[in-house]
Amino acid sequence: MNRCPITYNLCGNRKYSAEGLHLLSPRLQQLNDFPYTKEEQVREAIARAAKLSIQGVQPKLSVRLSPTKMLFEAVDSNGTYIIKPQNEYYPQLPENEDLTMRLAATVGIEVPLHGMIYSKDNSLSYFIKRFDRTSRGKKIAVEDFAQLTGNTRETKYRSSMENVAQCVNQFCTFPIIERVKLFRLTLFSFLCGNEDMHLKNFSLIRREGKIELSPAYDLVNSTIALSSPVEELALPIEGRKNRLTRKNIVDYFGKDKLGIRNSIMEEIIQDFLDTRSIWLNLIDISFLSESMKEKYKDVIDSRFARIF
């Protein structure tokens, strides 16, 4: 029996569940394969790169959904989704990113609509709905923390989580709320092995008259994706990028630098403890290979032991 790559629900002999298709569009009864192989997607991404407003090292395509044609179409402008194909250097990256984003949602981290779709060669590509566009394609004001701090793609690692916290205090409308969100995201990144949360992976968004942290994106267990990982966070806490402990993350960064009260911290900690079994179940039913599932669980086990 097949499992839907959008919802993880069982879907019989179909490629997608009705629930998964409905999330994309209430008008969608089926979804045709994305009309490119994984190699063709990479070539298309390279060819269109100069025309697109999306950035990053990982090849990606701007697309929009056509319910009448029942497929995603690659576009040079006014795209409402981003698609990332399989990566020759980092195996199972779409499966990894989709799972990691799914885990984030279970602990109260806001994530956009995302999932995976089948391409014409039956490979899986990751999709995510753009949160910086309205349903009509109008731009929503978003700035990443590299822009906010005067850094570039080349200097996106030359900062610290303390500096990220300062940006939240300086620019957010209600920083006390956003500091809690930032801590959840930081703790999650450590626990799930995401060592690539650099300045361009944090953003502020203007919504309903207030400036706040944007929905999370680019969450990946990079520890299992890399052949020889050497760090645990992209930006240091208390001058450290590895061998981090509860003292560094919870006591120093969460309580001292972000000012999170003990009662709130206890609630956050309990949320993570309560969802650990959910994480393990989601890993088991994910689209990762069995060996990658075990590696993912090993990372979670070792990181949980150091915090809790």
For 177-206, the pLDDT digits (tens) are: 999 999 999 999 999 999 999 999 999 999
Q: What integer is the mean pLDDT of 256-280?
A: 98
pLDDT at 56 over 80: no
pLDDT (average), residues 105-112: 98
Q: Is the pLDDT of residue 52 over 80?
A: no
| Percent of the chain topping pLDDT 70 | 97
Give the whole-number percent of the chain exceeding pLDDT 90.
89
CA triple 112-118-122, angle to 5 deg: 155
Tokens describing residue 139: 């731009």
Domain segments of the chain as ranges:
18-129, 142-307
Describe the chain by its helix, strand, coil percentages, rounded to 5. 45, 15, 45
Give the mean pLDDT of 221-237: 94
Please give the C-alpha separations between residue 102 and each of 18, 134, 142, 194, in angstroms, as whole numbers.
Answer: 19, 23, 23, 14
> pLDDT band at 254, cuts 50/70/90?
very high
Whether 63 has a pLDDT exceeding 70, the answer reads yes
Please, what is the angle between helix 93-106 and helix 290-307, to 10°?
40
Per-residue confidence (pLDDT) for residue 48, from 0 to 100: 81
Instruction: Point out which residues pair with 64 in neighbouring strands.
Output: 73
For position 306, what pLDDT does the model report? 96
Mean pLDDT along residues 77-99: 95
284-301: average pLDDT: 98
Q: What is the pLDDT of residue 282?
A: 98
- Residue 57 has a pLDDT of 60
Alpha-carbon distance of 127 to 72, in angstroms, equals 10
Most confident option among 75-89, 136-150, 240-254: 240-254
Residue 53 in this model has a pLDDT that exceeds 70: no
Burial class (CB in 10 A: 0-12, 13-18, 19+), 27: exposed
Average pLDDT (251-255) is: 98
- Indicate whether 50 pLDDT > 70: no
Whether 281 shows a pLDDT value over 50: the answer reads yes
**Cα–Cα dist 136/142, whole Å:** 17
For Cα atoms 183, 282, 92, give the angle at the middle one, nearest 5 degrees. Answer: 90
Measured CA to CA, the distance from residue 142 to residue 132 in angstroms comes to: 6
Average model confidence (pLDDT) across the chain: 95
Give the mean model confidence (pLDDT) for residues 257-278: 98
pLDDT for the residue numbered 137: 73
pLDDT at 54: 47
- Of residues 51 and 22, the one with the higher pLDDT is 22
The residue ranking higher by pLDDT, 57 or 22, is 22
pLDDT band at 209 (very low <50, low <70, confident <90, very high): very high
Supply the DSSP symbol for 251: I
Is the per-residue pLDDT at 160 higher than 70?
yes
pLDDT beyond 60 at 55:
no
pLDDT of 136 higher than 80: no
CATH number (1.10.760.10, 3.90.45.10, 1.10.260.40, 1.10.1070.20) of 142-307 reads 1.10.1070.20
Separation of alpha carbons 63 and 80, rounded Å: 6
